[in-house]
Amino acid sequence: MTSSSRTINTIYVEPEFKATGDGLRRPSWSRQNQLCILSGSVTKATTAAEDEIAQLPASCRPEAEILFHVPTLDGAFITLGVSSNRS
């Protein structure tokens, strides 16, 4: 799928998580110049204590960990970390 000359790629999530559905975008990534764009919504599918949601392709991993404050569907916020080594 191409949008504004960007290729949208699926992010495959760990088994403990699933795409949210309900009309929300599935987890995906794209590159635009030097910027890696992440999009989509996931929910925890099990009660397992797994912290890793997905693994990004090497071209989208930052040089150092980056933390984002992300809104949840119920209006709360969580801190989402993106690290350089695996996720």
Question: What is the band of 86 on the pLDDT scale with cuts at 50, 70, 90?
Answer: low
Alpha-carbon span 10 to 39, nearest angstrom: 10
DSSP string, 4-70: TTEE-EEPPBPTTEEE--TTPPPSEEEEETTEEEEE--EEE-SS------B---GGG--SS-EEEEE
Question: By percentage, how much of the chain surpasses pLDDT 70?
Answer: 86
Alpha-carbon span 61 to 31, nearest angstrom: 12
pLDDT in tens, 5-60: 678 898 888 888 888 767 788 889 999 888 999 888 888 877 766 678 888 888 88
Whether the per-residue pLDDT at 3 is higher than 60: the answer is no
2: helix, strand or coil: strand
Q: Indicate the pTM of the whole model.
A: 0.69
